[in-house]
Amino acid sequence: MSKPAFKRVLLKLSGEALMGDDPYGINRGTIERMVADVAEVAKLGVELAVVIGGGNIFRGVAPGAQGMDRATADYMGMLATVMNALALADAMKHVGVTARVMSAIGIEQVVEPYVRPKALQYLEEGKVVIFAAGTGNPFFTTDTAAALRGSEMSAEIVLKATKVDGVYTADPKKDPNATMYQKISFDDAIAKHLQVMDATAFALCRDQKLPIKVFSITKPGALMNVIMGAEEGTLVHV
């Protein structure tokens, strides 16, 4: 097998991707398949950090959050990402991948606090590092956390793994004539108002010259294709 195209990557995994076909929560079959893909990549020696969202769990209680203070709701969402991170780490353990969960908010009885030098050490040791609780601050999304942690970890690329296989000219569910971009610059994506990431995350990646690859995590083998530099998804670049 040829060498991977990347040595160190930041995988942004949406919580919704863990649901499979379920309305919310974690679909065990889905997470096991994703973890199998991650294990294949880890065996190549790729240093892999993960930022995970919490929309799959928080979605189940979203109606109860209506009218709630935004900061309080955001902290609830952070806790949902911790649950997802624990589930992901447990699934990795079952396939022989060592993972460490680090949280941006203090829950030391459950997971380690985020400490940058320690996270870098884990990556160099070949462990998968799962960053939970976003940035630790309300009003910032896990997309922003991915851009931030990717920059802090000196990742070569942010891999945004979603249920969609790339960035389109329009919503492909609504417009049958929508076409997918193979590559697009940050400036063009901003000018065209393409929803790659939220504005704060997008600006940070652009300023740090940190490219983003958007691809479908539900497609078997897609993660490996991206790691090997094959044509897969959409590359957003400077």
Binding residues for UMP: 54, 74, 135-142
Cα–Cα distance for residue pair 12/209, rounded to 1 Å: 17
Taking alpha carbons only, the member of 156, 112, 152 closest to residue 132 is 112
Cα–Cα distance for residue pair 38/224, rounded to 1 Å: 8
Binding-site residues, please? 12-15, 54-55, 59, 74, 135-142, 162, 168, 171
Binding-site residues for ATP, please? 12-15, 55, 59, 162, 168, 171
Phi, psi for residue 104 in degrees, rounded to 5: -80, -10
Contacts of 234 (CB under 8 A, 6+ apart): 166, 167, 180, 181, 182, 183, 184, 213, 214, 215
Cα–Cα distance for residue pair 58/74, rounded to 1 Å: 10
